A and B are shown apart, each in its own frame.
Chain A
Amino acid sequence: MNRITRNETLRDWRVLLLILVDLMAILALFPRVTRSTTELSVTDVDSALIIQMVLEDAFQDVDHVSSFNESGLTVHGFSFELPGARDREQVISELDLYLSGMMPRGIAPEVSINNITGANANVTIASDDAVISTFIENGLDVKITSLQRLGDTISMTLNRRLERQQLLDLLKASASITSFENPRTLKTNLKLGIDFLGGFYYNVRPVGITFDVRISSANITPRLIGDFLNTTVTLDEEGDAGRLTLDIVNPEFEGNASGTLMEFVIDQFFEMNPVLSKISFSFGEPNSELVVNATNYNALQVILNRTLTLEYDVVGGNEPSGLFEVEGKGSEATEAELEANLSDYLQLLDYETKVTDETIEEVQDMIQSRGNFLGVSDLRLKRIGNEYVQVESPERISGESSILEPLDFQARIWKNENETILALTSSDVARVDHFYYISDAGGWSVPLTLKKDSAEDFRQLAISLGAVSDDAAEREKHKLGMFFNRIEVFNASFSESLAESMRDGPVVSILAITGGPRDNSEARKRAEDLYINLEASFPTALKTAGEGQIPPILGRDFGRQVAAAAAAALLGVSLVVYLRYRRPKLVLAILAVSLSEVLVILGFAVLIGWYLDLASVAAIIAVIGTGVDHQIVITDEAVYQGEGKKRLVISTRISRAFFIIFTAAATTAIAMTPLAYVGLGRLRGFAIVTIVGVLSGVLITRPAFGRIVRRVVGGR
């Protein structure tokens, strides 16, 4: 009867391992006290004054004229002076811009313009809550994470720490602060997903198709050459590496067929199809012999170029078998359309409306770098199924921002008043530099470096149209227009100096001008869009297949709720365990080990940069639940000692418990593996956390618990 001492238990490697892992988890989580929020309450909110303050930024001599109620909404009347001549529509859109968030959607302000410089506007406001929150958000560049109205008091939490004075300066007399606090909050390295913080998600599909083909150059190449020469060409001999010896029935040329003439025509064929090459040609009567180099891959390229309008890439395949995989980025051709175009030449096998994995990965990278550029932090990308990419963002990124919308950029030269000719597209650009405002050019500009060939083509076109003529009047007729998504956003004639350089030779550095003047925010935005689109261009078009908003469930009260539920759960579990075994130490052991399990899972989540979403939290609850279950299995085996002669030593009993636990854990882990692999939307987190939790449980925490139980129950 050797009872295990406390020291022995503590020195046991299983217990030491658990303590070590717990420490590591705590280190990874690294909780620290930060002051990241400001909480305040305001009262006496004078929304008329706030709106007046906002309007004063844009207009002059703003006066509040009247207020009245209209079916529960307050309407404020203002008079102000317009700095320049504007019509009613313009004033409405300006007001919309400045007061967006304060006015209810769909209710346009009523505006009357008295004379050139004066205007009256009736503005319907949403509510004091909306007015003050919009005002503070815009004035201090913060976000309000929660807002609550109690009587006259409006309480809110801001996502950033502010000085009281900053708020007082902003609010002036429009509201008075009744309480102000910069509370300390506990922050960890744990990343929370949009389930908790709220946000938007978008499902985008890179447009494109992939298909497999089987092609035989030995069949196709003689036919292609035969069609071109309008004669019969047969395969004489097939050599290695695409070497084909062809027998050509000399075609009927006007006059006499001579070897030189025939070779000249044949050379033209190879000029048109540069992927194929001629090895030798020997003229004979009545048949000539042509040796060509045409692999299956070459023949496929020729077929794809000549039969399909869009660009298709061969992305994989195997030369000996003639089987290739082809990707059409941006193509929406149906299987029937492809069949109609290609079936004469090759065999169409698998057809799928998706792009390749590489292309999807490239799209993901580009979305991420666009997000980084635009300062939208925390974009989270996930692949869903074979075709979709899901983008989760804490802020709205569709619509105005250009993260998900590829830009179709074209520079076109005006041929005459009605017609433009395509001069440059995104694919002609070799390099792009950061945009800036150039006063000489009169606009926001993006410096582009063209590819060499493109620069030469561009020069030829400009010269042929007269756009770079030395006659300024002629140049004025053939301006260069910038087209964004097929709409002209800016045009200008070639400058004297540029025209001169282009007459001399190709110019690779040009500026894409997106409009001016300097304070034209739309022109600036276009320059930014163009820059981003060239810097991080999508390999293919994207289609948004669905978007949605997830309301935040993590607010002021959520943490408290979870804490209350957790406390009640712990209490309940402890009570049951105590009633069953009547050993307080056992209750402590179970609680401590369960807590370790939470720590280990959270620490792991931090290490792999996992965003904790709702499904993951559900999995943590499940893992803790099964953890407690397993500890009860161990305890029961330890406590129950068998009868009479069949009494077993405690180590045997505990190892019997571990048989049950290991089997159960292995089964659960296997059950979750398909889900972790497939993902099924946002459920992958659930599967991964369950697997990690169950495995770390049986490998780390439960062996230690078994050891602790031996001490608590008394090892006999």
Chain B
Amino acid sequence: MSRGPKQEFSFPSFLDVTRISWKQMLLPPLSLLLIAVTIVAYNYYTTGEPVKFGIDFTGGTLISFPNSYELDSGTIESELRDEFGPVEISVRKGSGVLSVETQGMEDEILDYMEQKYGKAGTKTTLEVPLAETFRKQAPLVLIAAFVGMGIVVYIVFRSPLPSVAVLAAALLDIFEAMSMMTLFGVRLSLATVAALLMLIGYAVDTNILLTSRLLKRREEMRIRLLGAMKTGLTMAATTLCAVGALYIFSTSDILHDIALVLIFGLVADLLNTWLFNAGLLRGYLSKKFKLLDQRGKGR
């Protein structure tokens, strides 16, 4: 049965953000931002780095133990960390090859694995002459990307507000996902950087949906906002389903990391788009129409 035109607009009432004021809508995303800033600041204070950099950025030594089907990467990682203390160690496994990435004590780790598990490993030194280039270029790439995005959105909407909204959401999504990575011990590697970049696509989709529905339609504000939210939440639900499946069904640690970062980012995007940006746009629109009313031009 297709829906009849007279059907009431249906929306679960507990998600109906129009029941609270636009200022109240800003509270949850702002608290998330506060938490994220705290995490990053604390990490910076204790380690000197805003996030945990993986071996892709820092260099180090990679030790591979082939034929290690029976070993579990998580167990070995915590064991090695207990044993070798402050040295940065991360353990991955794929196709029966256990890969230990470390920034020191490589001979001790080789001995330990040999003694305890009878595994003979081979080590490769990973020098990262590019880490510096990467750190130099990455901010430039990000700035160029954001400037480009801002210009496109401005051209389409002919108003600076949507540009700011889209950029802010993308930036906040990435920043908050990064802080969650720090909290959960996920290191910044090439794979997780890719995952963070994937968030740009999602943030752009949801926020352009929100701004174009809110600014370009003529229905009642509540209908516009809740209609956009309905679409947006469906989008988030499908994406979270897919990413959740990736997280549950893959045993590759790289895919795990990517899935985890996406989940962090998508959750952050829900708050940043449907509460933060939606709240700001609501405030902007209500002020604008109040002004129009006062001038006697409002309808």
Name A residues whose Cβ lies closer than 8 Å to a Cβ of B: 72, 104-105, 126-127, 129-130, 146-149, 198, 203, 205, 384-385, 388, 545-549, 551-558, 561-562, 564-566, 568-569, 571-573, 575-577, 580, 614-615, 618-619, 621-626, 628-630, 632-633, 636, 639-643, 646-647, 656, 659-660, 663-664, 666-668, 670-675, 678, 680-683, 686-687, 690, 694, 713-714
Tell whether, in the assembled complex, residue B202 and residue A629 are in contact, meaning their CB atoms are under 8 Å apart. Answer: yes
Tell whether, in the assembled complex, residue B95 and residue A664 are in contact, meaning their CB atoms are under 8 Å apart. Answer: no
Chain B, interface size: which category? 35 or more
Question: Cβ of B285 < 8 Å from any Cβ of A?
Answer: no
Q: B244 to chain A: which residues have CB within 8 Å? A: 572
Identify which of A147, A626, A636, A664 contacts B234 (C-beta below 8 A): A636
Tell whether, in the assembled complex, residue B146 and residue A671 are in contact, meaning their CB atoms are under 8 Å apart. Answer: yes
Tell whether, in the assembled complex, residue A682 and residue B190 are in contact, meaning their CB atoms are under 8 Å apart. Answer: yes
Q: How far is the CB of B216 from chain A (nearest CB, A)?
A: 8
| Listed A/B pairs (6) with beta-carbon separation below 8 Å | A105-B120, A551-B99, A569-B246, A615-B190, A624-B242, A640-B227
Identify which of B59, B134, B191, B250 contacts A680 (C-beta below 8 A): B134
Tell whether, in the assembled complex, residue B67 and residue A149 are in contact, meaning their CB atoms are under 8 Å apart. Answer: yes
Given A147-B66, A629-B235, A671-B146, are A388 and B129 also a contact pair (CB < 8 Å)? yes
A-contacting residues, B248-289, CB 8 Å = 248-252, 254-255, 258
Q: How far is the CB of A328 from chain B (nearest CB, A)?
A: 21
Q: A681 to chain B: which residues have CB within 8 Å? A: 56, 130, 134, 190
The 4 closest A-B pairs by CB, nearest first: A555-B95, A572-B241, A546-B127, A568-B245
Identify which of A555, A632, A678 contacts B235 (C-beta below 8 A): A632
Q: How far is the CB of A690 from chain B (nearest CB, A)?
A: 7
Q: How far is the CB of A683 from chain B (nearest CB, A)?
A: 6
| Nearest neighbor of B143 in chain A, beta-carbon distance | A674
- What does the 1/0 interface line of B118-137 toward A look like (CB < 8 Å)? 10101011111110011001
Given contacts A573-B238, A618-B198, 5 further A-B contacts (CB under 8 A): A146-B96, A385-B137, A629-B202, A674-B148, A681-B130
Q: B193 to chain A: which residues have CB within 8 Å? A: 683
Tell whether, in the assembled complex, residue B95 and residue A552 are in contact, meaning their CB atoms are under 8 Å apart. Answer: yes
Which of A545, A622, A663, A671 has the most B CB atoms < 10 Å from its CB? A671
Q: Complex formed: what's the CA distance from A545 to B194 in Å? A: 24
Tell whether, in the assembled complex, residue A680 and residue B137 are in contact, meaning their CB atoms are under 8 Å apart. Answer: yes
Q: How far is the CB of B240 from chain A (nearest CB, A)?
A: 8
Tell whether, in the assembled complex, residue A551 and residue B249 are in contact, meaning their CB atoms are under 8 Å apart. Answer: no
Identify which of B126, B242, B250 contacts A625 (C-beta below 8 A): B242
Given A629-B238, A680-B137, A681-B130, are A619 and B198 also a contact pair (CB < 8 Å)? yes
| Nearest neighbor of B65 in chain A, beta-carbon distance | A551
Q: How far is the CB of B91 from chain A (nearest CB, A)?
A: 11
Q: B200 to chain A: which residues have CB within 8 Å? A: 668, 671-672
Tell whether, in the assembled complex, residue A618 and residue B234 are in contact, meaning their CB atoms are under 8 Å apart. Answer: no
Q: B239 to chain A: which residues have CB within 8 Å? A: 625, 628-629
Q: Complex formed: what's the CA distance from A546 to B145 in Å? A: 29
Tell whether, in the assembled complex, residue A671 and residue B129 are in contact, meaning their CB atoms are under 8 Å apart. Answer: no
Q: B148 to chain A: which residues have CB within 8 Å? A: 670-671, 673-674
Question: Cβ of B293 < 8 Å from any Cβ of A?
Answer: no
Q: How far is the CB of A696 from chain B (nearest CB, A)?
A: 14
| Nearest neighbor of B239 in chain A, beta-carbon distance | A625
Given A572-B241, A573-B241, A682-B190, are A557 and B251 also a contact pair (CB < 8 Å)? yes
Name B residues whose Cβ lies closer than 8 Å to a Cβ of A: 2-3, 5, 56, 59, 62, 64, 66-67, 69, 92, 94-97, 99, 118, 120, 122, 124-130, 133-134, 137-138, 140-141, 144-146, 148-149, 151-153, 156, 166, 170, 190-191, 193-195, 197-198, 200-202, 204-206, 208-209, 212-213, 216, 218-219, 227, 230-231, 234-235, 237-239, 241-246, 248-252, 254-255, 258
Q: A105 to chain B: which residues have CB within 8 Å? A: 120, 122
Q: A622 to chain B: which residues have CB within 8 Å? A: 198, 201-202
Tell whether, in the assembled complex, residue A568 and residue B138 are in contact, meaning their CB atoms are under 8 Å apart. Answer: no
| Nearest neighbor of A676 in chain B, beta-carbon distance | B141
Tell whether, in the assembled complex, residue B249 and residue A546 are in contact, meaning their CB atoms are under 8 Å apart. Answer: no
Identify which of B59, B206, B212 contacts A546 (C-beta below 8 A): B59
Identify which of B92, B204, B213, B230 contacts A671 (C-beta below 8 A): B204
Q: How far is the CB of A340 from chain B (nearest CB, A)?
A: 28
| Nearest neighbor of B126 in chain A, beta-carbon distance | A548
Identify which of A548, A554, A663 contacts B62 (C-beta below 8 A): A548
Q: Complex formed: what's the CA distance from A643 to B254 in Å? A: 48
Tell whether, in the assembled complex, residue A618 and residue B246 are in contact, meaning their CB atoms are under 8 Å apart. Answer: no
Tell whether, in the assembled complex, residue B190 and residue A628 are in contact, meaning their CB atoms are under 8 Å apart. Answer: no
Q: A664 to chain B: which residues have CB within 8 Å? A: 204-205, 208-209
Tell whether, in the assembled complex, residue A618 and residue B129 are in contact, meaning their CB atoms are under 8 Å apart. Answer: no
Q: B2 to chain A: which residues have CB within 8 Å? A: 713-714
Tell whether, in the assembled complex, residue B141 and residue A551 are in contact, meaning their CB atoms are under 8 Å apart. Answer: no
Given A646-B218, A664-B208, are A551 and B94 also a contact pair (CB < 8 Å)? yes
Q: B243 to chain A: which residues have CB within 8 Å? A: 569, 625
Q: A694 to chain B: which residues have CB within 8 Å? A: 201
Tell whether, in the assembled complex, residue B130 and residue A573 are in contact, meaning their CB atoms are under 8 Å apart. Answer: no
Given A127-B118, A385-B133, are A667 and B153 also a contact pair (CB < 8 Å)? yes
Identify which of A575, A623, A663 contacts B208 (C-beta below 8 A): A663
Tell whether, in the assembled complex, residue A555 and residue B130 are in contact, meaning their CB atoms are under 8 Å apart. Answer: no
Q: How far is the CB of A338 from chain B (nearest CB, A)?
A: 23
Tell whether, in the assembled complex, residue A680 and residue B141 are in contact, meaning their CB atoms are under 8 Å apart. Answer: yes
Tell whether, in the assembled complex, residue B145 and residue A683 are in contact, meaning their CB atoms are under 8 Å apart. Answer: no
Q: Complex formed: what's the CA distance from A646 to B65 in Å? A: 68
Q: B234 to chain A: which residues have CB within 8 Å? A: 576-577, 580, 632, 636
Q: Complex formed: what's the CA distance from A227 to B53 in Å? A: 60
Q: Complex formed: what's the CA distance from A565 to B153 in Å? A: 35
Q: B122 to chain A: which residues have CB within 8 Å? A: 105
Tell whether, in the assembled complex, residue A576 and residue B137 are in contact, meaning their CB atoms are under 8 Å apart. Answer: no
Tell whether, in the assembled complex, residue A558 and residue B94 are in contact, meaning their CB atoms are under 8 Å apart. Answer: yes
Q: Complex formed: what's the CA distance from A633 to B202 in Å? A: 13
| Nearest neighbor of A637 in chain B, beta-carbon distance | B231
Tell whether, in the assembled complex, residue A615 and residue B241 are in contact, meaning their CB atoms are under 8 Å apart. Answer: no
Identify which of B96, B120, B125, B249 contacts A547 (C-beta below 8 A): B125
Identify which of A551, A571, A615, A619 contacts B64 (C-beta below 8 A): A551
| Nearest neighbor of A640 in chain B, beta-carbon distance | B227
Tell whether, in the assembled complex, residue B94 and residue A628 are in contact, meaning their CB atoms are under 8 Å apart. Answer: no
| Nearest neighbor of B93 in chain A, beta-carbon distance | A551
Tell whether, in the assembled complex, residue B69 and residue A632 are in contact, meaning their CB atoms are under 8 Å apart. Answer: no
| Nearest neighbor of B199 in chain A, beta-carbon distance | A622
Q: How far is the CB of B222 from chain A (nearest CB, A)?
A: 13
| Nearest neighbor of B230 in chain A, beta-carbon distance | A636
| Nearest neighbor of B195 in chain A, beta-carbon distance | A618
Q: A639 to chain B: which residues have CB within 8 Å? A: 3
Tell whether, in the assembled complex, residue B191 and residue A674 are in contact, meaning their CB atoms are under 8 Å apart. Answer: no
Q: B137 to chain A: which residues have CB within 8 Å? A: 385, 678, 680
Q: B69 to chain A: which residues have CB within 8 Å? A: 148-149
Given A576-B241, A636-B230, are A666 and B201 also a contact pair (CB < 8 Å)? no
Q: Complex formed: what's the CA distance from A572 to B236 in Å? A: 12
| Nearest neighbor of B258 in chain A, beta-carbon distance | A618
Q: How far is the CB of A152 from chain B (nearest CB, A)?
A: 15
Q: B249 to chain A: which residues have CB within 8 Å? A: 561, 564-565, 568
Q: Complex formed: what's the CA distance from A621 to B252 in Å? A: 16
Q: How far is the CB of A454 from chain B (nearest CB, A)?
A: 37
Q: B138 to chain A: which residues have CB within 8 Å? A: 680
Given A568-B249, A615-B191, A646-B219, are A203 and B231 also a contact pair (CB < 8 Å)? no
Q: B241 to chain A: which residues have CB within 8 Å? A: 569, 572-573, 575-576
Q: How far is the CB of A66 from chain B (nearest CB, A)?
A: 22
Tell whether, in the assembled complex, residue A561 and residue B252 are in contact, meaning their CB atoms are under 8 Å apart. Answer: yes
Q: A675 to chain B: which residues have CB within 8 Å? A: 141, 145, 197
Q: B245 to chain A: which residues have CB within 8 Å? A: 565-566, 568-569, 571-572
Tell whether, in the assembled complex, residue B96 and residue A148 are in contact, meaning their CB atoms are under 8 Å apart. Answer: yes
Given A549-B62, A675-B145, A680-B134, are A576 and B197 also a contact pair (CB < 8 Å)? no
Q: A564 to chain B: which residues have CB within 8 Å? A: 249
Tell whether, in the assembled complex, residue B130 and residue A203 are in contact, meaning their CB atoms are under 8 Å apart. Answer: yes
Tell whether, in the assembled complex, residue B231 and residue A562 are in contact, meaning their CB atoms are under 8 Å apart. Answer: no
Given A547-B125, A628-B235, A667-B153, are A643 and B5 also a contact pair (CB < 8 Å)? yes
